[in-house]
């Protein structure tokens, strides 16, 4: 499991839900001495990507004397891999970690590429590090116990990977939608493998997000993250990405970059996967302000987030299936129309 020849001490970080399903099996797999492996169970959910939980992981590592040759095994979804990966990055200036992703989101996205992070009130993923896991161990069968809503949320990232790299992969989703939703073994394995290859390939060409290649992975995330924050994390990350991708497609269409036909196909596929395509239906009264999300809230989060990062807002737009354009030059009118289209359930060009 670890490239080092010397014995290592392992510590497992997981969440309570995943522990109930898989901890015993993982411990059994780790052999005879596994009963001595320390385990930290964090509460399930996005709120655990917090400075408090990070501190709890560090305290746990102190308590179990995990040294520089130690290894953290992150067993769970993207929340666990982001938190435990960041704890590994910061512990003693960086120790090894291995990801055992148990959600589709984590198997095809969060555990690949070495981005780790926690959230602070000032914004999502603002504190983080690039720290690649030594290995990523994926078992598609884990998805059988996952809430179908979480499976669907993960599919949003698969649609994203297809949209930014390959029209053929997008059509593959259309052709195999029923088998994907039925968690057909062969189709699901193919989906995971293709996504891992796409993400790893993009990341390898721009590991630290410096040349722009990796930025394409943010497609749908500029508005998606803002929606996620404005609804107080009431929606799944992937659900917000679905809404953000549709808005980005409509902005691209309003700027005459993208054909309406592509926008329609994206909306149809998202709907087939049971992902939200309208804020009106998906958020309801679940927002932070206990009312509908206003464009001003979204716009504030988008600008505040980028200011906090000392960056201009870089929009990833779509020109055609598989072809993106990154630009800071998007008039607020288009952004507003893209957002409004999510409220009105109509395209901005209608």
Ligand X SMILES: NC(=O)c1ccc[n+]([C@@H]2O[C@H](COP(=O)([O-])OP(=O)(O)OC[C@H]3O[C@@H](n4cnc5c(N)ncnc54)[C@H](O)[C@@H]3O)[C@@H](O)[C@H]2O)c1
Q: Which residues bind ligand X (CB under 6 A)?
A: 15, 17-18, 21, 44-46, 49, 76-80, 82, 102-103, 105-106, 109-110, 113, 115, 142, 145-146, 150, 153, 236-237
User: Closest Cα to residue 326, out of 225, 257, 239?
Assistant: 257
Rounded distance between C-alpha atoms, residue 234 and residue 216, angstroms: 26
Tokens of 329: 């030059």
In the bound state with ligand X, the residue whose beta carbon lies nearer, of 102 and 347, is 102
Please report how close the Cβ of residue 140 comes to ligand X at its closest, in angstroms.
10
Output 141-145 pairs: Cβ under 8 A, ≥24 positions apart.
142/21, 142/22, 142/102, 142/103, 142/107, 143/102, 143/103, 143/104, 143/107, 143/183, 143/188, 144/183, 145/21
Q: Which residue is nearest to ligand X (CB)?
A: 78
In the bound state with ligand X, the residue whose beta carbon lies nearer, of 123 and 338, is 123
What is the Rg, in whole angstroms, of the alpha carbon atoms belonging to the chain? Answer: 20
In the bound state with ligand X, the residue whose beta carbon lies nearer, of 156 and 247, is 156
Please report how close the Cβ of residue 9 comes to ligand X at its closest, in angstroms.
25
Q: What angle do CA 137, 141, 147 make, to 5 degrees?
A: 110
Please report how close the Cβ of residue 21 comes to ligand X at its closest, in angstroms.
5
In the bound state with ligand X, the residue whose beta carbon lies nearer, of 21 and 272, is 21
In the bound state with ligand X, the residue whose beta carbon lies nearer, of 134 and 336, is 134
Tokens of 157: 């990232």
Please report how close the Cβ of residue 337 comes to ligand X at its closest, in angstroms.
27
Please report how close the Cβ of residue 286 comes to ligand X at its closest, in angstroms.
17
Please report how close the Cβ of residue 178 comes to ligand X at its closest, in angstroms.
22
Q: For residue 99, which phi and psi values (nearest 5 degrees)?
A: -100, 130
User: Closest Cα to residue 194, out of 140, 150, 244?
Assistant: 140
In the bound state with ligand X, the residue whose beta carbon lies nearer, of 115 and 267, is 115
């Amino acid at each position: 499991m670890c490239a080092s020849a010397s014995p290592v001490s392992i510590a497992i970080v997981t969440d309570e839900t995943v522990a109930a399903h898989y901890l015993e099996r993982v411990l059994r797999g780790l052999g005879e001495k596994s009963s001595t492996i320390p385990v930290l169970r964090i509460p399930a959910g996005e709120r655990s990507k917090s400075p408090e939980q990070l501190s709890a992981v560090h305290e746990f590592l102190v308590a179990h004397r995990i040294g520089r040759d130690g290894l953290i095994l992150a067993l769970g979804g993207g929340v666990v891999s982001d938190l435990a990966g960041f704890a590994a990055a910061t512990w003693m200036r960086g120790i090894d970690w291995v990801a055992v992703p148990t959600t589709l989101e984590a198997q095809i996205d969060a555990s690949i590429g070495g981005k780790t992070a926690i959230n602070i009130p000032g914004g999502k993923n603002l504190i983080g590090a690039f720290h690649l896991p030594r290995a990523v161990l994926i078992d598609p069968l884990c998805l059988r116990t996952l809430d179908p809503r979480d499976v669907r949320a993960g599919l949003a990232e698969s649609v994203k990977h297809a949209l930014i790299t390959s029209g053929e992969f997008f059509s593959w989703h259309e052709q195999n939608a029923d088998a994907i939703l039925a968690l057909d073994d062969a189709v699901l394995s193919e989906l995971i493998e293709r996504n891992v290859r796409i993400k790893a390939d993009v990341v390898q060409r721009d590991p630290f997000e410096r040349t722009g290649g990796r930025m394409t992975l943010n497609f749908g995330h500029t508005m998606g993250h803002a929606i996620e924050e404005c609804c107080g994390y009431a929606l799944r990350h992937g659900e917000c990405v679905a809404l953000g991708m549709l808005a980005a497609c409509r902005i691209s269409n309003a700027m005459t970059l993208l054909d309406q036909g592509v926008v329609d196909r994206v909306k149809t596929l998202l709907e087939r996967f049971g992902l939200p395509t309208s804020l009106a239906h998906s958020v309801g009264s679940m927002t932070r302000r206990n009312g509908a999300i206003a464009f001003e809230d979204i716009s504030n989060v988008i600008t505040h987030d980028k200011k906090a990062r000392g960056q201009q807002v870089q929009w990833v737009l779509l020109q055609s299936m598989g072809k993106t354009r990154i630009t800071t030059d998007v008039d607020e009118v288009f952004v507003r129309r893209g957002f409004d289209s999510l409220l009105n359930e109509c395209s901005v060009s209608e």
